Amino acid sequence: MDPANPCRTCQCLLGGHYACSNIECPAVDCPADVQARSVGGCCMECLGASPK
């Protein structure tokens, strides 16, 4: 994970090269006022929602 951007993951390749890609977040099914990102997280989550 890229510490400067938690929505970006990087993978080391041969020869000291690396490849990075952005994480695609799923849509959240709750009002905007109860959405937040966890500390160090990338995607929005519904506050108070239990995992499915």
Q: For 5-52, how does the pLDDT look when each residue is reduced to its tens digit (9 = 90+)?
A: 889 988 899 988 989 999 999 999 999 999 998 888 899 999 875 555
Domain boundaries, the chain: 8-46
pLDDT, position 50? 55
3: left (phi over 0), alpha (psi -120 to 50) or beta: alpha
Q: Give, rounded to a whole angstrom, the gap between the first and last alpha carbons of the chain.
A: 25
pLDDT grade for 1, boundaries at 50, 70 and 90 = low
pLDDT, position 5? 85
pLDDT, position 49? 57
Is 10 in contact with 44 (CB distance < 8 Å)?
no
